[in-house]
Amino acid sequence: MKKGLIAVFCLIIIALLFQNCKKEATSPSWDVGILAPIIKTTLSIDNLVNDTLTQTGPDSLISIVYNSEMYTMALDSIIELPDTTIQYTINLENLDIGNYEIVYRTSLGDIANRDMEENGPGSDLYVTIMNAHNFGIPSTIDPIDQQVYENISMDAGEYFQTITIAEGFMDIEMDNQLPMDITNLIFELKNTDDGTIVFQDTFYVIPAFTTMTRTKSLAGLTIDGNLTGTVKLESPGTGGNVILDTAMALTSTITIRDLEILNATAVFPNEEMIDLNETINVDPGDQTFLNRVLVREGSINVTVFNTIEQPMHFNFTLYSATLDGEFLEIEGNVPAASGTTPGSLLINKNLAGYDVSFRGIGPFEMIWGDLNGNEIIDAITSNSLYYKLTGGIDSTGAMVTIDQNDSIYLYCHFSSIIPDYAKGFLGNHTADETGVTDFEVVEELEDTYISLDDVRVTLEIASQIGVQAAIFIDELVSVNNRTGVQVSLSGPVLGEPFIISAPDDPYSTSIDVIPSISYININSSNSNIHELLENKPDQLSYSVRVETNYGILPEPGSSGTDFIYYGDALSASLNVEIPLSVIASGLILEDTTDLELNAGDVEDVLGGRLILIANNYFPFQAQVQMYLMDSLYNITDSLFTEPQLVQAGIINSETGKVHNPEKSKLYVDVSKERLNRILAAKKVRIISNFSTQPTDEHVKIFNWYTLELKIVADFNYRID
Amino acid sequence: MGKVITKIIIIIFVLSTHQVFSQFDNPEGNDKFNLLTRGHSLIGSNFNSYYSSNSVHYKFLSSLMGNKYIDDELKTSVKLKDDNRFGSIQDLNLYYISYPDSFLGTNQYGFKVSMGYHSNMNMKFGADAFNLAFRGNSYFAGKKADLSDLNINYLVYQDLQFGLFTRPSDDNPLTYYLGFSLIKGQTYYSIATEEAWLFTEETGEYLDLRLQGLFMASDSIKPDLLEFAGTGFATHLFFNYDNIVRNFSVSLAVDNFGYINWNQNSFLVEEDTSLHWEGIIIDDILNIEDGQINGFSDDTLQKLLKQEEHSVNFRKQMPERVQLSFFKRTSKMNSIKAGLIYLHDVNLKMPLFYIRDFYDILRAEKIGLQLNLDAGYGGYSGFQTSMGMTFATGSKEKNLLINASTNFLSFLIPKHTFSQNIFVCLSYRF
């Protein structure tokens, strides 16, 4: 016992020690590659101007253009596609529960037997008919007194239990294939349960081998599935010898047809109840006539409610919308209602990426013929979508009750549609914009470099919207908040329409629209602009107005060629261009700053490289070198083995601007030893050698130009 | 001779499949009920350490657990699949079982008291998750590292169990047991992602993180053995039928049917977020302050997971275990065991179905050595085979039993072995 206890406790102690040892032991280790951006910074003209532009040297002109954006008209100002709904309700009026047919046959044999029942086996008529039939001897049937066939069961119970009919007809067809005329035929049909007469009529003469039909309206009647019929008939006989066959018969065919029901308990067959080829109009308003939209965002929700105790299916195909060559198609199966709870189905489909033609049903009818049944090929139009909706009941074979309150309700809702591209006649829009923009000329430049005579003021309109427009300057006020003085613009330039031409359509959402640029020079000949500048404004107050399709009448139909892409805009800005005389090449920026890095952050870094990524809008390139120094300014290392180049932004020859930054990647190998030197450094000297590009041209520096720098670490790191 | 050849073929087969598994032994000690006759008691302890995977081999795991350096060759040797599974269980149980002549006024009941320490780690992960963890994100430059459907659970708890067992009569081959556990939760972490990925731009210019999933953690300031981060309750059932005449037995055990309530300082968040990272934005590149970098990791990640806003108590089901086994002694030196084992919510692909063949290599008076050959399907892997060794010592007179088993192939071919088990049982009957 004692040994056992000792052994057990030893095991526990060993196990606990194992747990404790694990905590105190060193960790496993492995190396991982870390690739991540560490620092991002953006240098603007304000960061550079103090140092860079105040240097002197060989000549080339640089102009700083102070660009104050005043107005932007984007896609949502021009096109707003309204949420659009398609609703369709199928009720009993639309429900075809089919035709029912009941056949009752009275043969010559039946007539013989009836006579035998009434007059005994030796009755004349029975004997005559049976002998003639059995021996094939032509015989004469004498006139027959009235025979009554009662309680004839005409059971339609497998199709329906009861139907209350709003509209409908019953056809009684009497096909007399007997060799004798039938006279005074009274046909009566009534509901078995309550004895209500459904049909009663008399056929006075039905000649032999002829058919007669009577039709009766069933409106307002309630018909049971269990019907009882009565047939009374007489005959003048054959009037001579004829061949008799007991199979010869008078056949009564009752057809209940074209029913519009108020309520019914019936077996509803599989039935396609909906087959619509329709169009829906989408009106963006403002005299806009669209013929094509590429959808960026948006959705279609289809909701179907079914109060009928039978499942149903539907298919909604929007032929006007395609994605990768496939039409937009939504289909589903809606479960049957359960008691008072309707079956329902909700389907949401993302419309992003769909190419939607707004030209209506016309283009499809030109290929597929008349689709909407109006017996013409519809014209191509605008703001119109073509869709096809089909659906029907999927019969379970069960008997279900439907009344006037039952329906199938289908609701399609297009919502929150934002175009990526829209084409058509984009309407006559007028948009006013009033606002205030900061206008702060770099202080260092104010006194030294501004010569008022050389300053050029221009209203620049850049339009990426494919529509002709006109812009009006209604007001421009120079505001000096330091002095409280305001000076308003006056002269012919005010209120005058300036036409903005439309850019070319690249016909691709992946290619930027090259904006059409229009300039309105505001100078002393058309305004008092110098008075505004002499006021040394720190703000500009303005009111401008843009009218699209200015002076152009609306073009209904599909011929419009205006276009707009998502993200593109018509913008107006005020450019104040201040020419400066500065160095064009060999411009040196040198700065030294303190450096204090924590070795704890990087002690597990094994080495790797730093990547300096520069996205440069400025039209000058820069050679960069960074020197690490100790506290006594002794250089301990340089980051680059040789100076590396940050490429200049490329000026667009048409607009004179850099539209896309030029990307450069500079690599710095960092070994563990070098990393330690970086950590030990106390100061860093950054030397940049700037050169304008191209070197022999006058370049403009816009105040929104930036140099974005990112430092990315690509290090091996030991995890332990 | 035929049997020997069969064994050799099996051994060759085991070695050639390069897959092995080890058993889930029942750590509760309930199989000891059969050792007791009325008027006797037993004290014992079971230690079970187990791991299994369909991709991570023993060499990798032993390096990881042994605090060694994991080089690229070792990483590459891991047999990654689209759906990788890993499970690890450690159980230590001390139990006292008594079958007194009279208890609760009858002679049909015995009782058991036990206490245990349990640790369970399991995970389901894609190849990208492994490579991101062990190779870093530069491995995915220009690509997405897909972390979707990642599931990691780590649970440590202790329990104190009381239970009654009954054997209707001395001759009756049936044994029933019902036990209840009071549970002390120590640590729990769970990560379950739905959609998650990390995109690294080709030169690291930016990172995009998509994170959608459920994250749970127990009270981080109470991670120690003596701290209560959660409390819970569980039930245990055991049934055994022992047919001595025909030398077979059937048993069914259902353990850990219960839950743990993790305390108010626990952390639960359903995260659905996206993060675009381009580096710390510095207004003046020429005046970088060190704190700007230091401050990033803690604050930003905390905000990302919104830890402060999601401290909440929550209830988590225990990883229930169901074991069904059939044991038969087929000859004097040979016996077989077959059954299934299933643990709930521990990333098992399916229950483990197994069959084990025991062969007595040495059967002396006080010592026994058994070779076992196993085949199985399911668990954390697909088809599996293994070879183990069981050592037992003791004597009927002194009533001491020491039993230890392990899968020795993991020591011989560690890069081709995907599971390991060390099971030690000490018990003393008196």
Average pLDDT of the residues in B198-225: 87
B45 contact A CB<8A: yes
pLDDT over 70, % of chain B: 85
Length of chain A (residues): 720
pLDDT band at B160 (very low <50, low <70, confident <90, very high): very high
The pair phi, psi for residue A22, each rounded to 5°, is: -60, -40
**Two structure tokens written together for A428:** 């006559």
Coil/strand/helix, residue B334? strand
Average pLDDT of the residues in B162-172: 82
More confident: A71 or B184:
B184
Query: Does ipTM surpass 0.85 in this model?
Result: no
Average pLDDT of the residues in A245-258: 89
More confident: B382 or A547:
A547
Q: Is a pLDDT exceeding 80 seen at residue B257?
A: yes
pLDDT band at B33 (very low <50, low <70, confident <90, very high): confident
pLDDT band at B280 (very low <50, low <70, confident <90, very high): confident
pLDDT for A586: 57
Name the domain count of chain B.
1
- Whether A426 and A469 have beta carbons less than 8 Å apart is answered as no
Give tens-digit pLDDT for A642-686: 767 889 888 888 777 888 899 999 888 888 888 888 878 888 777
| A593 contact residues in B (CB cutoff 8 A) | 286-287
More confident: A465 or A445:
A465
Question: Which residues does B48 contact at the CB level (< 8 Å), separation at least 6?
Answer: B24, B25, B27, B89, B90, B91, B92, B421, B422, B423, B424
C-alpha dihedral (A186, A189, A192, A195), degrees to nearest 10? -80
Q: Is a pLDDT exceeding 80 seen at residue B370?
A: no
Amino acid at A671: S
Amino acid at A373: G
CA dist B350 and A308 (Å) reads 44
| A7 contact residues in B (CB cutoff 8 A) | 400, 402, 426, 428
Q: How many Cα neighbours within 13 Å face the side chain of B380? A: 30
Length of chain B (residues): 430
pLDDT for B261: 93
Average pLDDT of the residues in B112-123: 92
pLDDT for A440: 67
Q: Is a pLDDT exceeding 60 seen at residue B16?
A: no
Give tens-digit pLDDT for A41-95: 777 766 665 444 433 333 345 566 777 777 788 877 778 888 888 888 877 666 6
| CB within 8 Å of chain A, chain B residues 325-384 | none
The helix (run of H) or strand (run of E) holding residue A426 is none
Q: What share of chain A is helix, strand, coil (3-state, %, to 5)?
A: 15, 55, 35
Classify A507 in phi/psi space as left (phi over 0), alpha (psi -120 to 50) or beta: left
CB-closest option in A19, A595, A611 to B204: A611
Is A3–B400 a contact, with Cβ atoms under 8 angstroms apart? yes
- Whether A139 and A242 have beta carbons less than 8 Å apart is answered as yes
The helix (run of H) or strand (run of E) holding residue A260 is strand A249-267
CA dist A581 and A570 (Å) reads 33
Mean pLDDT lowest for which of A12-16, A59-63, A395-399?
A: A12-16
CATH of the domain at B231: 2.40.160
Q: Which residue of A has its CA nearest to B64?
A: A28
CB-closest option in A25, A591, A711 to B67: A25
B70 contact A CB<8A: yes
Highest mean pLDDT among A340-344, A397-401, A531-535, B169-173: A340-344
Q: Is a pLDDT exceeding 90 seen at residue B234?
A: yes
pLDDT for A45: 67
Burial B274-299 (b: 16+ CB within 10 A, else e): eeeebbbebeebeebeeeebeeeeee
Is A5–B204 a contact, with Cβ atoms under 8 angstroms apart? no
B71 contact A CB<8A: yes
CB-closest option in A19, A27, A33 to B139: A33
More confident: B190 or B293:
B190
Closest-CA distance, A42 to chain B, in angstroms, reads 7
Burial of A332 (0-12, 13-18, 19+ CB in 10 A): middle
Average pLDDT of the residues in B390-416: 72
**Two structure tokens written together for A378:** 């519809």
| A37 contact residues in B (CB cutoff 8 A) | 204-207, 277-279
Closest-CA distance, A667 to chain B, in angstroms, reads 11
CB pairs under 8 A between A and B: 146
Domain extent at residue B330: 2-429
Spatial CA neighbour of A462 closest among A519, A420, A509, A510: A519
pLDDT for A637: 85
Mean pLDDT lowest for which of A535-539, A542-546, B252-256?
A: A535-539
| CB within 8 Å of chain A, chain B residues 232-291 | 277-290
pLDDT for A92: 65
- Report the relative pairing of strands B84-99 and B40-53 from DSSP bridges: antiparallel
Give the mutation candidate from B48, B90, B426 for the A interface (greatest A CB count, under 10 A).
B426
**Partners of residue A637 on adjacent β-strands:** A628
Amino acid at B430: F
**Two structure tokens written together for A507:** 């016909």
Give tens-digit pLDDT for A133-182: 888 888 888 888 888 888 888 777 777 788 888 888 989 999 999 999 99
Closest-CA distance, B49 to chain A, in angstroms, reads 11
The helix (run of H) or strand (run of E) holding residue A689 is strand A683-692
pLDDT for A60: 41
Token pair 């521990």 in the structure block, residue: B346
Is B286–A43 a contact, with Cβ atoms under 8 angstroms apart? no
Give the single-character DSSP code of B106.
B
Give the single-character DSSP code of A24.
H
Is A30–B280 a contact, with Cβ atoms under 8 angstroms apart? no
CA dist B287 and B283 (Å) reads 9
| B399 contact residues in A (CB cutoff 8 A) | 4
Average pLDDT of the residues in A334-341: 87
Q: Is a pLDDT exceeding 80 seen at residue A578?
A: no
Average pLDDT of the residues in B187-214: 92
Neighbours of A157 (CB within 10 A): 15
- Report the relative pairing of strands A326-334 and A249-267 from DSSP bridges: unpaired
Q: Which residue of A has its CA nearest to B395?
A: A4
Q: Which residue of B has its CA nearest to A592?
A: B286
